[in-house]
Amino acid sequence: MKKLILGDGLLGSELKKQTNWDIYSRRLSDLDINNLTSLEELIKNYKVIVNCIADTDTYSKNKENHYRVNYRFPSNLSNICEKLNIKLIHISTDYVYANNLPVATEDELPLPAPNWYSYTKLLADEYICLTNSNYLICRLSHKPYPFPYDEVWDVITSGDTVDKIASLVIKLIEKQSYGLVNVGTGTKNLYKIAPKKKIIERPSYVPYDTSMNLDKMNKLLNK
């Protein structure tokens, strides 16, 4: 089944490394998200689209770009996939889960979202769930491997290094999983992923606890 990865960032590049799937590696600016014809032309010969494109800059105050990249683009992509009977794999984030929802399940509506980035990602998740009949949304968090920074935030996560998270996403896709799925490797402090790094206090815009319930993922993967 022919698959196309959209986006060559950390996760998209790792998915390509672990598979033989095609990848669209040019910048999103090369795509006119309002030109549905050009987007349809790009994906029409594939059976599965893996959307890794996102504006993940939680520092940014550019709300318009977050809205354009994290909501408008995946919404348009979802509409085209539905029209062409293409399965959409959409990469979302554990940041949608607010601090009052530790060990969150997929059935919970995580409002209020902790920042504008997570809010626009949540909008896309909800749009796809409501309008698409053949999708997999993976809510996850991934870090570079090896961890390149000298400091690490004191936060709770279900995420892990990108190689491990990519492997889980691939397994879910290969099992033709459907719906909204939390993806991770269990609840832990982030410094467990990056031992021997200096632990520092998180910025105020970063939620402290984005740990997720992984029962659905484990069931799908027969763990």
Query: CA-to-CA distance for 207 and 189, rounded, in angstroms?
Result: 13
Residue 193 is assigned to a structural domain of this protein: no
Residue 24 is assigned to a structural domain of this protein: yes
Whether residue 30 is predicted with pLDDT greater than 90 in this model: the reply is no
Residue 199 is assigned to a structural domain of this protein: no
Enumerate residues 6+ apart whose C-beta is below 8 A from 42. 4, 24, 31
If one counts the domains in the chain, the total is 1
Say if strands 188-189 and 156-157 run parallel, antiparallel, or are unpaired: antiparallel
pTM: 0.94
What is the rounded average pLDDT of the residues 98-102?
A: 61
Enumerate residues 6+ apart whose C-beta is below 8 A from 64. none
Instruction: State which residues form the domain around 9.
Output: 3-142+160-184+212-220
pLDDT value for 210? 87
Task: Report which listed range, 61-65, 138-142, 190-194, is most confident.
Answer: 138-142
Residue 203 is assigned to a structural domain of this protein: no
Burial-class residue 103 by CB neighbours within 10 Å (0-12, 13-18, 19+): middle
pLDDT value for 99? 61
Whether residue 59 is predicted with pLDDT greater than 90 in this model: the reply is no
What is the rounded average pLDDT of the residues 104-131?
A: 88
What is the rounded average pLDDT of the residues 171-180?
A: 97
Residue 200 is assigned to a structural domain of this protein: no
Percent of the chain with pLDDT over 90: 68
Residue 76 is assigned to a structural domain of this protein: yes
Which of 181, 81, 194, 199 has its CA nearest to residue 132? 81
CA angle (94 as vertex; 91, 95 as ends), nearest 5: 110
pLDDT value for 6? 95
Query: CA-to-CA distance for 199 and 193, rounded, in angstroms?
Result: 12
Which CATH number is 80's domain given?
A: 3.40.50.720
Residue 90 is assigned to a structural domain of this protein: yes
Residue 147 is assigned to a structural domain of this protein: no
